[in-house]
Amino acid sequence: MTRLNNFAGSLVVLVVVLSPIPFGSNRPFFWAIWGLVVAAAAFVYSVAAARNGEGLRIPLSKIGWSVGLWALLLLWLVVQVVPFGAILSPFSIALSGGTITSETISTAPGATWLMLIRIATYGLFFVLALQAGAKENRSVLMIKILFWGIVAHAGFSLIQLTQFGDTILGLPKIAYMGVATGTFINRNSFATFLAIGLSVGISLLPGIISAKRARNETVMDKIFRLFFHVAGLFVIMVALLATQSRMGLFAGLLGAFVVLLLVLKQNRHWKVLIPAAVAIAVAASLLIVWTFGQGVIERGLDIEGSSEGRMNLYVQVWDVIMTRPWTGYGGGAFSLFFPAFFGPPLDLVGFWDKAHNTYLALFSELGIPAGSLLMIASAILFGRILWSQLMGTTLNPARLAAIGAIITCAVHSLVDFSLEIQANTFLFVAVVALGLAATIRMRAPGQV
């Protein structure tokens, strides 16, 4: 089983590191490609395990309610695209200009099929990452590779911005000129990718500091290793500031700070260390922001104007939700159905093809009951991982990284759509799955 899980781990880190390159994989073509890759890997894994007479190292029953909620979401997406209207009576959709009918609950079945593919892909990807995380050494190695992969993307984004004429993979930008976007189109989406990297990087620090020196390793070697890791965190932080994403920066710092507090809480001198860390973290953050984040400061001072437009959007999206609160208008179809409801107080200066709030987007597309399924599943996983870390006596990097990643994404999703970008979701799913695997290992080490 070790070889199979090594295969699963290699696939997971490769997908996470490579998926941001084609514009964050935010196109149907790439959704299909990654879906085929992950499905093929899951098929090979299952067939090989069956031939060897082996089951999953971490059974799906260990995941608990989250598996059932994911299955319910898949089922609801199927229900949305089945033409029940042709059998019973067409579904009516009331618009300001009149009423239209549809044979399916979804107003755009094609978009809903694509969302079904994505959700199924993420589920299979989660299972593969979970199996790879069954072994602690492999899990830690994967976290390290993910961290340095994010550092590489951060460094490349700064090179593109300063040396390659502010382009994306050599192509001219169509928006966000003068800020870092990496290989993503949207700066806020790239900021989430980097922000998760902060939590992942900090989660690895305790292991570097407390690791015993190898036989031929000197103290200076260990110091250099620590310095090199901190340099990686610094590159991520500078790139995050270069995105000029206000909430991306806030969410990233919040997630990383919670991870840092959990690390310090394990020390017997935590009552002294935590206040000191707070003071140092605030001072260092202010210094770095002042030195490298003038764009973030300027945008922060202009928050009133942008927040007014967002609030108008949220009010209008909520009104749309209330017209179909139980069924929604179709998974993945927001950009197709929302223009039919577009109107004052929103102006025509911008094109609102996203809800800029993942929670509202899910409610409008799936209905409030089904739209809550992913949120409930994530909350359950977060509670399990956090409780495991609080009750444990060791600092596991996968658990710490998962806690920071969930906090970061939960906060940023309040004002943006970063988890609607596939590359970000792959990173999020991988880190959370590794964190859950560490939690299950702690509870039942003899069964994993």
What does residue 100 show for φ and ψ, rounded to 5 degrees?
Answer: -115, 165
pLDDT tens-place string over residues 14-23: 999 999 999 9
Scanning the structure block, which residue is given the tokens 């299952």?
46
Torsion angle of the four alpha carbons 223, 157, 409, 405, in this order, in degrees rounded to the nearest 10: -20
- What are the tens digits of pLDDT across the range 77-119? 999 999 988 787 778 777 666 777 888 999 999 999 999 999 9
pLDDT for position 304:
45
What pLDDT is attached to residue 442? Answer: 67
Its pTM stands at 0.91
Candidates 209, 188, 205; CA nearest to 259 is 205
d(CA 115, CA 373): 15
| Helical segments of 52-135, H only | 65-81, 84-87, 109-132
Q: What is the pLDDT of residue 158?
A: 95
Q: Point out which residues pair with 171 in neighbouring strands.
A: 168
Mean pLDDT of all residues belonging to the chain: 87
Q: 100 in helix, strand or coil? A: strand
Span 182-219, pLDDT tens digits: 999 999 999 999 999 999 999 999 888 877 766 777 77
- Residue 330: C-alpha distances to residues 106, 109, 112, 325 (Å): 4, 7, 6, 12
Task: Provide the 3-class DSSP secondary structure of residue 308.
Answer: helix
Residues of the chain with pLDDT under 50: 297-298, 300-304, 445-448
pLDDT value, residue 446 = 44
What single-letter amino acid sits at 343? G
Q: What is the longest distance spanned by two Cα atoms in the chain?
A: 78
